[in-house]
Amino acid sequence: MDSLYLRISVTDRCNYACRYCIPKSQIRYIPHEEILTYEEIEKIVSLFLKIIPISSIRLTGGEPLLRKGIENLVKKLKALDIKDVSITTNGYFLKEKAKVLKEAGLDRINVSLDTLNEEKYKRLTTYGDLSKVLEGLFEAKRYFSKIKLNTVLIKGFTEEEIDSLLRFAAENNFEIRFIELMDIGIFNKKDHFLPVEFVKSYIEKKYGKLISLERNSFGPAKRYFLKSLNLKLGFIPTSHNFCNTCNRLRLSADGKIRLCLLNDLSYNLKPFLRGAFDENKLLEFLKGIIKIKESMLLKLKKDYCKENMVRIGG
């Protein structure tokens, strides 16, 4: 592994309760004092940098814009010379936050958007407000040239949304990525799984050939260009094994490193950060984690995540 892609969940709280995201079992929120401080996150990142270059950091959650002063963390990460710092958000607070995030040095934004139908959006997200998200996206467009939309594919829900989402993305110069459903929330895979192949062939039949683009170095998405709409789009399969090219680590809001989204194995950094802090011990522990990540080829497990998505950050 010659570089690391770190996904950091900054909070497990979310102002939405998306039906595909909220786990079937009851959520037990992490107590506030257990959540890593920005200084602790900065320390972990700076120690990783002593071991391996970090190509990219994505801040996620829960809802990352819900965390107070998130722009201060962005500033700290950019001060460590991380070239690519991005955020995945539901977009609800984007109107208020876009400018300060840009000023803090944020490079890119991904916004989760599964429908442009207000009633369906509300039904899916429970507390969502589509018009507020759209306002946030338009505001973000003033400051960011790279905005991506993330659309989770849900059978019986997404089929009718594809055309409007494609056109919306094209009109606004957003890239759109279709993500296969994982078995976490109320929509079970058995009844609601919609393969990316279905959407791909639907798009090709209606809009013409998808021209393959180079894979982005930090993700599993297969990217394409659609000439008829002048649109870049991507597909993220969750059912295929791409472990041998995966350089991702996930840091949970309460300080656990996960090697794989689909595997519950995790390493708790908290004992090294709190109490008698010993930088060298933490550095050695992180070196060990990188070695394990490099040496093991994690196989996708059929039972997927048992942990909460809001805690891991997707």
Residues in contact with ligand SAM by the rule CB under 6 A: 14, 20-21, 60-61, 63, 88-90, 112, 150, 152, 179, 181-182, 184-185, 309-310, 313-314
Question: Which C-beta is closer to ligand SAM: that of 125 or that of 286?
Answer: 125
Map residue 189 onto helix, strand or coil: helix
To the nearest whole angstrom, how small is the minimum distance from the Cβ of residue 296 to ligand SAM? 24
To the nearest whole angstrom, how small is the minimum distance from the Cβ of residue 278 to ligand SAM? 32
To the nearest whole angstrom, how small is the minimum distance from the Cβ of residue 39 to ligand SAM? 23
d(CA 177, CA 198): 14
Q: Which two tokens stand for residue 71?
A: 């722009």
CA 158 to chain centre: 20
Neighbours of 209 (CB within 10 A): 12
Neighbours of 2 (CB within 10 A): 7
d(CA 242, CA 307): 21
Question: Which C-beta is closer to ligand SAM: that of 156 or that of 208?
Answer: 156
Question: Which C-beta is closer to ligand SAM: that of 89 or that of 266?
Answer: 89
Instruction: Give the CB-nearest residue to ligand SAM.
Output: 314
Question: Which C-beta is closer to ligand SAM: that of 90 or that of 247?
Answer: 90
To the nearest whole angstrom, how small is the minimum distance from the Cβ of residue 14 to ligand SAM? 5
d(CA 257, CA 285): 11
Q: What is the DSSP string of 153-176?
A: EBTTTSTTTHHHHHHHHHHHT-EE
Q: Which neighbouring-strand residues pair with 236?
A: 179
To the nearest whole angstrom, how small is the minimum distance from the Cβ of residue 165 to ligand SAM? 13
To the nearest whole angstrom, how small is the minimum distance from the Cβ of residue 133 to ligand SAM? 10
The conformation of residue 150, written as its DSSP 8-state character, comes to E
In angstroms, the first-to-last Cα distance of the chain is 22
d(CA 210, CA 202): 11
Q: State the maximum Cα–Cα separation within the chain, in Å, rounded to a whole number.
A: 62
Which residues have C-beta within 8 Å of that of residue 62, sequence separation ≥ 6?
9, 10, 11, 12, 13, 14, 253, 310, 311, 313
To the nearest whole angstrom, how small is the minimum distance from the Cβ of residue 282 to ligand SAM? 27
